[in-house]
Amino acid sequence: MALNSSDVSAGDDILYSDHNTLRDDIQEIVAPKYIIGDIAAKGILDAELLSKSIHPQNLILNGNFEVWNAGIDGAGVDGTAANCPEGWVANESPTNILKVAGVKTDPLGVNSDIVKVTADGIYDGIKIQQNTWLKVKPSTIYTLSFWNKVDAVDDIIEIHLQDYEGANAGTVHLNDVNISSATSWGLYTKTFTTASDADNLDLVLYLKASGDIMYLSGMSLCEGSAPFAFIESPRDYRTGLKHTRYISLSPSDFKSFGQVLSYPVGAAYGVFAVGAGAEAGLSDGIHLPNGAVMTSINYYVYGQGGGTGVISCRLMKADRTGTSTQIGTTKSSANAASYQTLTDDFADETIVNTHSYYIILDTTINLVRICGAEIVFTVTNPLP
């Protein structure tokens, strides 16, 4: 059964995850009025279909800790944002607040960062910045969830969660509650109901002793009684936060010009046969959303044998007249007889949809293995 305009009023917030866009009809960002159970109860849409297409808004700004204030590795000062993720401040005076890049084995993979906090004493940690306190509705069910772990088994993470009505303190939902002393990632969840006069929340995460270390990732607060998979808050994009993203190019994405590119059975690379004394290359197009900003490219190559040259890698752009411009370049060490990661950190390049972007690898080495490439870019709007 289709969702009709009469079923949803102006101002209702619904996130359609298949299109990754938000309908909010120019209203202050609050949790969505309709969540899966509500709509299913009205008979508007099938519950199973809804569970795959609608996701409540995450109310926590910068919940994946990708965007940071000045400094990403330094001591914390109580109530200040220095060396903290955007939207967060230090609680008490941690010895160190550090941004750690996510890896594939982390809960949110490479498209998220992790905050690492080292305590100098009890209650050292991080908390929601006051001017970004979590806006909530009174007498409403919410679920807080986030990934966490500690550095050693005797390190302890504790949490404080409290209602406020304006600046007036209200119901305490959690206070000095031990949520973890595990050294492997675990998902913490807390479902609670706001007080009848609540309009915002205070959230603090802290450690219990000097030298204790905690890691946090994927902070989420959604309306409803169950945790949802992490999504970024629409507030991230409304406030212009830049999110780092990655696109990987596999060996099969590259096209050869001049010589043969083959793919050995069972191998995770392509072999590029140049021929002694010859010069030939590979190319691959880059497809990113308009307005994205490329910041660097990593090339993964191996000089399999023969020749004395290097493997050169170039980033190019072309306009509609066919005029090409080199944006960045890097190259391997002589002979390149080992697996190498070649990083090209060029000046930020903003993608314009009237240009084409591509990379070229060329060499005079007889045999070259191409193992792929990785493009690093930032966005300030949700990806389509």
DSSP secondary structure letters along 77-140: -BT--TTSBTTEEEES--SEEEEEE--TTSTTGGGSEEEEEE-SSTT-EEEE-GGG-EE--TT-
CATH class of the structural domain 245-379: mainly beta
Residue 133, φ and ψ in degrees, nearest 5: -45, 150
CB within 8 A of 277, min separation 6: which ones? Answer: 307, 364
**What's the rounded Cα separation, in Å, for the pair 309 and 333?**
9
CA torsion, ordered 233, 239, 240, 244, to nearest 10 deg: -30
**Which tokens hold the place of 376?**
């690093």
| Residues 259-268: tens digit of each pLDDT | 677 777 777 7
pLDDT digit string, tens, across residues 141-152: 999 999 999 999
Range list for CATH 2.60.120.260 in the chain: 73-230, 245-379
Pick among 3.90.25.10, 3.40.50.150, 2.60.40.1120, 2.60.120.260: CATH of 73-230: 2.60.120.260
| pTM as predicted | 0.56
Closest to 135 in 3D by CA, of 57, 191, 188, 68 = 57
Q: Which of 59, 89, 87 is nearest to 76 (CA)?
A: 89
The radius of gyration computed from the CA coordinates of the chain, to the nearest angstrom, equals 25
| CA dihedral of residues 123, 126, 127, 131 (deg, nearest 10) | 130
Task: Tell me the pLDDT of the chain (384 aa) as tens digits.
Answer: 344 434 444 433 333 333 333 333 323 333 333 333 443 444 444 444 344 345 678 888 888 888 877 666 667 777 777 788 888 889 988 988 888 888 878 887 776 789 999 999 999 999 987 666 788 999 999 999 999 999 999 999 999 999 998 888 889 999 888 988 899 999 999 999 999 999 999 999 999 999 999 999 988 898 888 776 676 665 555 555 666 777 888 888 887 776 677 777 777 777 776 655 455 567 777 888 888 888 888 888 887 765 567 788 888 888 888 888 998 888 877 655 678 888 888 778 888 888 888 888 877 777 778 888 888 887 776 554
Contact 300, 268 (CB under 8 A): no
What backbone phi and psi angles, to 5 degrees, belong to 125? Answer: 180, -145
The region that residue 181 occupies, defined by phi over 0 for left and psi between -120 and 50 for alpha, beta otherwise, is alpha
Let me know: does 368 contact 303? Beta carbons within 8 Å. Answer: yes
Q: Tell the residue number behind the tokens 């941004």, with chain if given.
A: 99
Q: Rounded to whole angstroms, how far apart are CA atoms 98 and 117?
A: 6
Q: How far apart are CA 358 and CA 340, in angstroms?
A: 21
Under 8 Å CB-to-CB from 325, ≥6 apart: which residues? Answer: 316, 317, 318
Euclidean distance between CA atoms 350 and 381, whole angstroms: 13
Question: Within 13 Å of residue 7, how many CA atoms lie on the same side as its CB?
Answer: 14
